[in-house]
Amino acid sequence: MDISLNSDKFLKSFFEYLTKGGISSNTLKFYKSDLSHFTGWMMFKVRSWGIFAETVNEIIPFINNKLAQEYRHFLVQNHVPFKTINRRLSTLRHLARFLLLSQIVNFDFMNGISNISTVTNDSTSIHPLLAEFKKKLEAEKVSENTVKNYVSDIRHFINWLESNKSAVAQN
DSSP state of 2: -
| Interval 126-163: pLDDT, tens | 567 777 888 888 888 888 888 888 888 887 777 777 66
Contact in structure between 97 and 91 (CB atoms under 8 Å): no
Q: At what angle do helices 82-101 and 7-20 cross, to 10 degrees?
A: 100
SS (H, E, C) 114-163: CCCCCCCCCHHHCCHHHHHHHHHHHHCCCCHHHHHHHHHHHHHHHHHHHH
**Secondary structure class of 79 (helix, strand, coil):** coil
The CATH number of 7-101 is: 1.10.150
Domain boundaries, the chain: 7-101, 123-170
Q: pTM above the 0.75 mark?
A: no
Contact in structure between 23 and 32 (CB atoms under 8 Å): no
| Interval 28-72: pLDDT, tens | 999 999 999 999 999 999 999 999 888 888 899 999 999 999 999
pLDDT number for residue 123: 39
